[in-house]
Amino acid sequence: RERSFIMIKPDGVQRNLIGKIVGRFEERGFKIIAMKMVHATTEHLEKHYADLKNKPFFPGLIKYMASGPVLAFVIEGLDAVKTGRAMLGATNPLASLPGTIRGDYCLVTGRNICHGSDAVESAEKEIALWFPEGVIEYKDCEAEWVYED
Ligand code: GTP
Ligand code: MG
């Protein structure tokens, strides 16, 4: 089973979409193994988005992400990274299909309400950055009905 780091950005929190977004991952069959609400510092967000530090939109991105609390969580399940990204939709919400989170709830790239890790290695880094205390290991009774074995 793979893990991915998912985050509801400040606009998603302010727009009261926490329940709907978390619900999509639960309903799909993913197991949530860590979750917390954080009002992140700019230093922390600069680490999270370090790969983008030379982009012209970087200062605006950090300001947006620091503008309010986010909901950070970790999903675990089959192909969690790629499937998580597919569930979010494209970076630009106008290019996201209806049925995806961005395709259903937002309109512009700079307010695209959610984040998902883009590769297994970035998921590992992001989980370590946001959950240095570790994730919660537990048995979920749904798994035997979600998977064949
Ligand atoms: P994340 O899941 O948030 O990492 O998005 P992503 O992987 O789909 O896109 P990427 O990592 O390239 O960019 C990170 C975030 O920066 C995006 O989700 C947007 O919020 C923001 N961003 C990316 N490109 C642009 C842009 O051209 N303009 C603006 N204003 N914001 C951008
Ligand atoms: Mg990204």
Interface predicted TM-score (ipTM) of this complex, two decimals? 0.97
Residue nearest to atom 6 of ligand 1 (CA): 91
User: How does DSSP assign 73-136, residue by residue?
Assistant: EEEEETTHHHHHHHHH--SSGGGSPBTBHHHHH---GGG--EEE-SSHHHHHHHHHHH-TT---
pLDDT of residue 52: 98
Ligand located closest to 59 CA: 1
Phi, psi of 19 (to 5 degrees): -60, -45
Confidence band of 116 (pLDDT split at 50, 70, 90): very high
Q: Which two tokens stand for residue 115?
A: 């984040």
In percent, the amount of the chain with pLDDT more than 90 equals 99
Whether 18 shows a pLDDT value over 90: the answer reads yes
Residue 59 beta carbon below 6 angstroms from any ligand 1 atom: no
| Stated pTM of the model | 0.97
28 labelled ligand-binding = no
pLDDT of residue 149: 86
pLDDT of residue 89: 98
